[in-house]
Amino acid sequence: MRIRATVAAVSGALALSALVVPAAHAATSSGTPYTLDAGFTGVTIAKAIKVGTTNEVSTKYTYTLTHGAGVDITAKDFYTDAFLYRGSFDDPSAELYGDDAATCTATSATTATCTGTIDIRPAGGDLTNAGAGSWKVAAEAIAFNGQDPNSPDMSKVGYKDQDGLGATLVQRYSKLTADASPEPVYKGKTLTVTGKLSRANWEDHLYHGYSGQPVKLQFRKAGTSTYTTVKTVYSDSTGNLKTTATASYDGYWRYSFAGTSTTPAVSATGDYVDVK
């Protein structure tokens, strides 16, 4: 649902009517919504949302809705949700919503705990590569108060939105490989470890190399559980990695990437090398 823009085009206000009304129908409404007696606090959402090239990603959020005694949150035409946006709140460059409104459970006469999801479909064009990074969290609620959603008198519709409720990262899913050779190798001889760091491209829906990034070469001795860093190398212009190390013990070699604001941390599966 593209919530806020629907009523903005009609009344200069922003509302949840896209939940129930196609934008074409909303154009027959009139008036400006009054400010609904409601507020939002305590928003929780994942610190980072990792999105690949094709699979839909749904991320749960919760918040506390506080409302006046005259607001009936159990009404069939009351809706509320949280959403993500980039840029300014009044003129966002992009927004992300869930498919459905949040579900609210009353905790008192004037408060409720609301839960919903942000649903992201990269294959459907929900994201561009420039959209990777920090997104802000906002919430909104609308009460139609019995008005016909297809042609409401908006002056009788209550609406409230609120920004500054938090932030999350929407990141381009990353992949990392490692291959150590030769296998087996004689003690004291040189091992060559190759690999590739890549990340999702939300525009062509493929994975491409992530260039110029510091990646740690790590080793875990057989029979132990902890990797130690041997050196740091940088991915080349196509995301490829290549370096050498001295073989001393049986164990596992891998690359590990710490991540950036646009791309999550990832570690390759360790490649076992038998040292003779």
Identify the pLDDT of residue 150. 84
Q: Over 80: is that where the pLDDT of 221 sits?
A: yes
Q: Over 70: is that where the pLDDT of 108 sits?
A: yes
Paired tokens of 51? 């999105």
Identify the pLDDT of residue 269. 98
Which pLDDT band, with edges at 50, 70 and 90, does 172 fall under? very high
Which whole number is the average pLDDT over 190-218? 98
pLDDT tens-digit readout, 3-41: 465 555 455 544 444 454 444 334 455 689 999 999 999
Which pLDDT band, with edges at 50, 70 and 90, does 43 fall under? very high
Identify the pLDDT of residue 31. 83
Residue ranges of domains in the chain, CATH in brackets:
3-172 (2.60.40), 174-273 (2.60.40.730)
Q: What is the mean pLDDT of the chain?
A: 92
Identify the pLDDT of residue 149. 85
Identify the pLDDT of residue 5. 52
Identify the pLDDT of residue 170. 98
Which whole number is the average pLDDT over 269-276? 98
Which long-range contacts (C-beta less than 8 Å, at least 24 apart) are formed by 9-16? 10/154, 11/154, 13/154, 13/159, 14/140, 14/159, 14/161, 15/140, 15/142, 15/154, 15/157, 15/159, 16/79, 16/80, 16/81, 16/101, 16/140, 16/141, 16/142, 16/159
**86 contact partners, CB below 8 Å, separation of at least 6:** 92, 93, 94, 95, 131, 134, 135, 136
Identify the pLDDT of residue 4. 60
Identify the pLDDT of residue 2. 52
Q: Over 50: is that where the pLDDT of 92 sits?
A: yes
Percentage of the chain lying above the pLDDT 70 cut: 89
Which whole number is the average pLDDT over 231-257? 98
pLDDT tens-digit readout, 120-143: 999 999 999 999 999 999 999 999
